[in-house]
């Protein structure tokens, strides 16, 4: 098979695929090249989030019978793929759902602690010659309520570690109402926000979730922790940009309705001119939730297994359409 | 009783002590004032780490019969108190041993994740207009060996969370050889460092531990994680400055023997001209291990209980001499 890789791949996985006799072409294409059908020369395209497989791109890639038959999303979220158009053009979509779970789980816990304990600010001030020991009093996570918006694999992983840290874990997910985990389920997002001083987002971006977190919802957060400590309100998003209304987030951080916010994802990426970056009670990473050596290796392993299935005429396990 | 508070106290605790009829005088004294016996007007002094109770200061504070009879260290480490001189001058030393445990535990986990996932660097680059997504590939903690140098209350708390994150916990502590925790004990510090890609320090500063971590010891660290991933070597110190030889740490970070180092404590504090602050693979906080609302409240509660014991003529439970 002819396989285009547009946003990078683990070198070990590339080698393995080539050793199976497939041709791997690694190149990032411009929007114009994609619209001009450059992918129609390939059977398979492996993308991450940077390549946008819009309806127009998919149609241009499937112009002749020999065109694209499989899109592999190295990662989880497929909001950069028009799945209706893919299905209509007989293009399968696969992702690598489990590969990045633990990487995102750990980053989420890292952001939770880092923001409530001012790790980023402490380092930055020290590098600017300021020993801000007395200004940087933080709050602990133990004894606080953590609200998980969405309760899939990543949320469950975060919940398990949060439990071990002594947090009370709460969740709202319209598609999951109960589990054996130590977690309190809520009927609606208002109830989750009214209960939790700490919120972490773990849902997909969809019409249902776009801008679901706005100023009104943030203003419901309790400020005072379940343990009686005035720890303020904190939000983490390592899921997808666009779930939080960023203008409202900015206002809430400025007004003090939010004590801190930590984002790994943004409505517009790369997020270089984002006004949130001017705020001291905001911290950010550049969409590195899945950027670990371990996740890249696991994604590579899943890609290899999808290509083995597809080349032998089977539908891969992780096929989404 | 007349109580001097030289490095601050929780307002609630101060109020409670005053309501018991004691006089609380909150002031930070200079070294000269201390040497001139300003504390001899008080029965009790409450200090943190900033006030140095050297032999000379203690003698100056106990000049007459009415002088100081109790030093309360709001916190744990008493390396800023000359305990021989205190004992010789019949001055009791108490600390608040459990109050800051969880605060330090959480900061340690925060530093562990933040350094292995480049949270500080990611934020700093974004604020400088650089979307460093591709440069900031990190490594996960799950599946790696975490070595705890010292196995007291804080280390055990870190170990429990690290276990929940899927790390293998190792420890060396000459005063603790076994426990029921899920932890592998080592006979010596060389064995701990040879086994662990991640080291976190949780011992006191003493003649035995001063500069125990040097270039030779760091060079024994395995670079490759227990799970086969080349995650590099990482050291965290949220215990006391001086346990790590800082010049050696600098060399190891420059040579690549160490992939990252995170310090909350330094040989000289405030650490403003420390050359480590010039390195990109170094991250620091300004000795904020115990700086949480929760720890300050718990410290305040313990101080109140020590003062109740002392004023009724009993030896407080946390008396160290």
What is B101-284's CATH topology? Rossmann fold (3.40.50)
Max Cα-Cα span within chain A: 68
Whether B269 is a known active-site residue: answer: yes
CB atoms within 10 A of CB A56: 14
The pLDDT value recorded for residue B128 is: 96
**To the nearest whole percent, how much of chain B has pLDDT over 90?**
92
Whether A269 is a known active-site residue: answer: yes
CB pair distance less than 8 Å for B293 and A231:
yes
Can you tell me the distance from the alpha carbon of A51 to that of A82, in angstroms, rounded to the nearest whole number?
Answer: 12
Mean pLDDT calculated for residue range B82-99: 95
Contact, A286 vs A271, CB < 8 A?
yes
Q: How many CA atoms within 13 Å lie on the side-chain side of A207? A: 0
Q: Which of the residues A202, A287, A298, A310 is marked catalytic?
A: A287
Provide the token pair at A314: 């089977």
Q: Which of A165, A294, A296, A297 should be substituted to probe chain B, the one whose Cβ sees the most B Cβ atoms within 10 Å?
A: A294
The pLDDT value recorded for residue B177 is: 83
End-to-end CA distance of chain A: 21
Helix (H, G, I), strand (E, B) or coil at A43: coil
Residue A29 CB contacts under 8 Å (≥ 6 apart), including other chains:
A6, A38, A39, A51
Q: Which of B50, B238, B291 should be substituted to probe chain A, the one whose Cβ sees the most A Cβ atoms within 10 Å?
A: B291
Q: How far is B62 from chain A (nearest CA, A)?
A: 30
Provide the token pair at A106: 């750990």
Q: Which of A108, A158, A291, A299 should be substituted to probe chain B, the one whose Cβ sees the most B Cβ atoms within 10 Å?
A: A291
Quick check: do B2-99+293-311 and B101-284 share a fold? yes
Mean pLDDT calculated for residue range B201-206: 94
CB pair distance less than 8 Å for B270 and A161:
no
CB pair distance less than 8 Å for A272 and B131:
yes
Q: Residue A307: pLDDT band by 50, 70, 90 thresholds?
A: very high
Query: Does residue B64 carry a pLDDT above 70?
Result: no
Helix (H, G, I), strand (E, B) or coil at A257: coil
Find the residue in B nearest to A139 (Cα): B292
The pLDDT value recorded for residue B65 is: 67
Contact, B94 vs B320, CB < 8 A?
yes
Compute CA distances A264 → A202, B22, B137, whole Å.
12, 51, 14
DSSP state of B81: B
Mean pLDDT calculated for residue range A281-293: 96
ipTM for the assembly? 0.90
Chain B residues whose beta carbon lies within 8 Å of the beta carbon of residue A288: 117-118, 122, 133, 136-138
CB pair distance less than 8 Å for A294 and B106:
no
Contact, A72 vs A303, CB < 8 A?
yes
Sheet holding B234-237, edge to edge: B184-185, B168-172, B145-149, B198-201, B234-237, B260-263, B282-284
Q: How far is A221 from chain B (nearest CA, A)?
A: 19
Chain B residues whose beta carbon lies within 8 Å of the beta carbon of residue A126: 271-272, 277, 284-286
Among A191-195, A250-254, A296-300, the minimum mean pLDDT is found in: A296-300
The pLDDT value recorded for residue A65 is: 67
Sheet holding A168-172, edge to edge: A184-185, A168-172, A145-149, A198-201, A234-237, A260-263, A282-284
Of B152, B52, B72, B140, residue with least CA distance to B104: B152
Whether A186 is a known active-site residue: answer: no
- pLDDT of B221-268, one tens digit each? 999 999 999 999 999 999 999 999 999 999 999 999 999 999 999 999
CATH of B2-99+293-311, one of 3.40.50.720, 3.40.50.300, 3.20.20.80, 3.30.1780.10: 3.40.50.720
CA B185 to chain centroid: 22
Q: How many CA atoms within 13 Å lie on the side-chain side of A195? A: 20
Find the residue in A nearest to B231 (Cα): A293
With vertex at residue B181, the alpha carbon angle to CA B180 and CA B183, rounded to the nearest 5 degrees, is: 115
Q: Residue B77: pLDDT band by 50, 70, 90 thresholds?
A: confident
| Bridge partner list, A292 | B138
The torsion region of residue B8 among left (phi > 0), alpha (psi -120 to 50) and beta comes to left
Q: Where are the domains of chain A?
A: 2-99+293-311, 101-284
CB pair distance less than 8 Å for B287 and A133:
yes
Mean pLDDT calculated for residue range A30-45: 95
Query: Does residue A236 carry a pLDDT above 70?
Result: yes
Helix (H, G, I), strand (E, B) or coil at A143: coil
Q: What is the number of residues in chain B?
A: 321
- pLDDT of B99-125, one tens digit each? 999 999 999 999 999 999 999 999 999
- What's chain A's average pLDDT? 95
The pLDDT value recorded for residue A64 is: 62
Of A237, A250, A228, residue with least CA distance to A148: A237
Q: How many CA atoms within 13 Å lie on the side-chain side of B135? A: 12
Q: Residue B97: pLDDT band by 50, 70, 90 thresholds?
A: confident
Mean pLDDT calculated for residue range B4-24: 94
The pLDDT value recorded for residue B75 is: 87
CB pair distance less than 8 Å for B117 and A110:
yes
- pLDDT of A115-171, one tens digit each? 999 999 999 999 999 999 999 999 999 999 999 999 999 999 999 999 999 999 999
The pLDDT value recorded for residue B179 is: 87
* Stronger pLDDT, A79 or B217, i.e. the higher one: B217
Provide the token pair at A239: 């899921």
Dihedral (Cα; B56, B59, B61, B67), 10-degree rounding = 170
CB atoms within 10 A of CB B301: 16
DSSP state of B260: E
Provide the token pair at B223: 């670079």
The reported pTM is 0.90
The pLDDT value recorded for residue B178 is: 82
Of B196, B186, B264, B199, residue with least CA distance to B225: B196
Of A215, A221, A265, A260, residue with least CA distance to A241: A265
The pLDDT value recorded for residue A66 is: 78
Q: Is A3 exposed, middle or buried (0-12, 13-18, 19+ CB in 10 A)?
A: buried
């Amino acid at each position: 098979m002819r396989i285009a890789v547009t946003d990078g791949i683990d070198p070990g996985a590339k080698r393995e695929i080539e050793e199976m006799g497939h041709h791997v072409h690694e190149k990032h294409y411009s929007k114009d090249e994609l619209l001009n059908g450059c992918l129609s020369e390939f059977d398979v395209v492996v993308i991450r989030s940077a390549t946008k497989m819009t309806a127009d791109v998919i149609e241009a890639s499937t112009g002749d019978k020999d065109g694209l038959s499989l899109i592999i999303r190295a990662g989880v979220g497929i909001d950069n793929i028009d799945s209706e158009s893919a299905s209509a053009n007989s293009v399968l979509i696969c992702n690598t759902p489990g590969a990045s779970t633990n990487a995102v789980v750990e980053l989420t816990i890292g952001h939770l602690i880092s923001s409530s304990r001012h790790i980023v600010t402490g380092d930055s001030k020290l590098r600017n010659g300021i020993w801000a020991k007395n200004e940087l009093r933080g709050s602990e996570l133990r004894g606080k309520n953590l609200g998980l918006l969405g309760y899939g694999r990543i949320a469950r992983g975060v919940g398990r570690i949060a439990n071990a840290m002594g947090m009370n874990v709460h969740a709202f997910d319209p598609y999951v109402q109960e589990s054996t985990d130590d977690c309190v389920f809520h009927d609606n997002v208002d109830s989750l926000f009214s209960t939790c001083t700490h919120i972490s987002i773990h849902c997909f971006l969809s019409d249902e979730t776009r801008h679901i977190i706005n100023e009104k919802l943030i203003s419901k957060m309790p400020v005072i922790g379940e343990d009686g400590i005035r720890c303020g309100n904190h939000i983490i998003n390592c899921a997808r940009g666009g779930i939080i209304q960023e203008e409202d987030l900015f206002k809430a951080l400025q007004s003090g309705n939010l004590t801190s916010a930590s984002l790994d994802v943004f409505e517009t990426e790369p997020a270089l001119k984002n006004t949130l970056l001017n705020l001291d009670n905001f911290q950010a990473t550049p969409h590195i939730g899945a950027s670990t050596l371990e996740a890249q290796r696991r994604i590579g392993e899943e890609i290899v297994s999808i290509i083995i299935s597809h080349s032998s005429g089977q539908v891969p396990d992780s096929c989404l359409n």
